[in-house]
Amino acid sequence: MKPWHQRPIEIRNLFNPAFCGLVLSRAMTGYEEDDDRGIPFSLLLLILPLCLHKETRSILARGSRSYLLKAIETHPEILVGFPRRTTAMMSYTFEALGLLMQLGCFEVTADGRLKSIEKRVRKSLTGTPESLEIQRVARFVGKEFARVSDRVTIYTSLGIKP
């Protein structure tokens, strides 16, 4: 990964570690609504590629009353390029997690799950309409991951070998 000042302005704006950390935090709290043990680390790697990709996000935002696996089944276009996007965005996910960890926004449990710490990230959603949609979809995806509760099923459904 290039040093911050050497990145193009578009990359600095779109993959800002603070914003990506906020998205990951929303997914963590969504997951914890159904499973208070915390989200497995491996599932956090899928959050940014699902939430920041505009076409995927719009499908998930429309179907937020539906189930994630059903949305993937009825919209196979979600899977096009998803493994490649996930790999490409891993470094941004790690950078955002590093910032969240430095700020004390989550803890790692004994079994390797990431659990958010209360009152470290503002609960109210603020921002542009697009950033609000991203945050809502992140919460939905986190909640759905907890509902499915099987990492292999989630990874396989998204076309990634676990």
2 domain-assigned: no
**pLDDT confidence of 65, banded at 50, 70, 90?**
low
Q: Which residues pair with 113 in a beta bridge?
A: 40
The reported pTM is 0.91
Contact 96, 17 (CB under 8 A): yes
How many other CB atoms are there within 10 angstroms of residue 57's CB atom?
20
Burial degree of 160 (CB within 10 A; 0-12, 13-18, 19+):
middle
Contact 93, 44 (CB under 8 A): yes
144 domain-assigned: yes
Number of independent structural domains in the chain: 1
* Residue among 1, 159, 160, 149 nearest 77 (CA): 159
Higher confidence at residue 6 or residue 86? 86
* pLDDT at residue 84, rounded to an integer: 94
Strand-pair category, 39-40 with 113-116: antiparallel
Q: Which domain holds residue 75?
A: 7-157
114 domain-assigned: yes
Six-digit token string for 161: 């070998």
Contact 109, 37 (CB under 8 A): yes
User: 11-27 pLDDT, tens per residue?
Assistant: 887 889 999 999 999 99
Least confident residue range of 9-18, 42-51, 87-96, 144-153:
9-18
1 domain-assigned: no
162 domain-assigned: no
User: 113-162 pLDDT, tens per residue?
Assistant: 999 998 877 777 777 889 899 999 999 999 999 999 899 999 999 998 76
Q: What is the mean pLDDT of residues 87-112?
A: 94
d(CA 57, CA 94): 21
103 domain-assigned: yes
99 domain-assigned: yes
Contact 14, 20 (CB under 8 A): no
